[in-house]
Amino acid sequence: MPPNALEIEDRALGDAGVILPRVALGCGNFGGVGSSPAFFGQGLSEDEAFALMDAAWELGLHHFDTADAYGGGRSETAIGKWIAARGVRPTLTTKTYNPMDEGADFGLAPERIERQLTSSLERLGVDRVDLYLAHEFDPGVPLDESMDAFEAQLGAGRIRAYGVSNFDASQLDAALRVGRPLAVQNSYSLMHSEDEVELLPLCHARGVAYLAFSPLAGGWLTGKYRSGETFPAGSRMSQRPEPYEGFNNERTFRVLDRLTEIAAARRVSMAGLALAWLLADERVTQIVIGPGRPEHLEPAREALATELTPAEHERLGELFS
């Protein structure tokens, strides 16, 4: 292990034999901005993605999270090329649901799940992925048919475990009735904690791993957005602001100012403190960070070195309640 590598706690994913580190590298900005066709070909270039993966691997982040539609396949392709070039094998999460191009098909029909997994394996250059997720709930396909399709891929040895993403509590409960999803990956942060009410308790009760994406709320918890100032070029608020528009108000900026003060008193960045808040919650199995540059990995280092007491964790959560 490199001398500067982080000590990252591992968690077992049910009985699948898959080990998930509590921090994963999110690769949604490789060759695009998430699954939006309007941004395919943008985001990080292949060289930039390689530099980020190199830095993450050196730091001890050995789990990469992607999706077939990230960058219209460019994210998986970049990861596959990096694996081949570096001769190492991170554990991998990928997902399917979204279209691979404007107007292309989407969803969780069994034949599409099989087809998309085949293409993901080809782009990644591997014979199986460790965790395969339904990227959205599909109201147009009976859930038992989709879960059976995931089970078939599990039985074929092409995936080691499966789960869901962007599912609410009722949808996850329904999936658990007809399948064996071992994980759910949803947006969760100090600023977006709706899953606290129903989904996290359900995961805890049913032994489902909870994976948090967008742990810095699209950059809002980094301090990059300032009241009355133009959003920085290349930021989520300048590219895909829709998921975060509700944060753009004076109350948010007042609370963020207070969070900045608390972080300064702890000698940690706002982003580092926000990630530490997530890691202090034992119900959160993994956080998926999506840095744009190698230096953006620093908050993960800070978070892993920052311990919060239960009282401190509760007070931080109350700031945004």
Q: Tell me the average pLDDT across 13-30.
A: 97
Span 188-207, mean pLDDT?
97
Q: What is the pTM of this model?
A: 0.95
Between strands 131-134 and 162-165, the pairing is parallel
Residues 6+ apart with CB under 8 A from 36: 240
Each residue's pLDDT tens digit, 199-254? 999 999 999 999 999 999 999 999 888 877 778 777 777 777 777 778 888 999 99
Catalytic residues: 70
pLDDT band at 85 (very low <50, low <70, confident <90, very high): very high
Helix/strand/coil (H/E/C) assignment for every residue in 156-189: CCCECCEEEECCCHHHHHHHHHHCCCCEEEEECE
Section 263-272 average pLDDT: 97
The closest of 178, 193, 69 to 162, measured between CA atoms, is 178
Tokens coding 319: 């700031």
User: Can you give the pLDDT at residue 244?
Assistant: 79
| Contacts for 214 with CB less than 8 Å, ≥ 6 apart | 187, 188, 189, 192, 243, 290
- pLDDT single digits (tens) 139-176: 999 999 999 999 999 999 999 999 999 999 999 999 99
pLDDT in tens, 91-140: 999 999 999 999 999 999 999 999 999 999 999 999 999 999 999 999 99
How much is the average pLDDT of 254-270? 96
DSSP 287-314: EEE--SSGGGGHHHHHHHT----HHHHH
Q: Which long-range contacts (CB under 8 A, 24 or more apart) does 207-210 make?
A: 207/14, 208/163, 208/172, 208/176, 208/181, 208/182, 208/183, 208/184, 209/11, 209/13, 209/14, 209/20, 209/163, 209/182, 209/183, 209/184, 209/285, 209/286, 210/183, 210/184, 210/186, 210/283, 210/284, 210/285
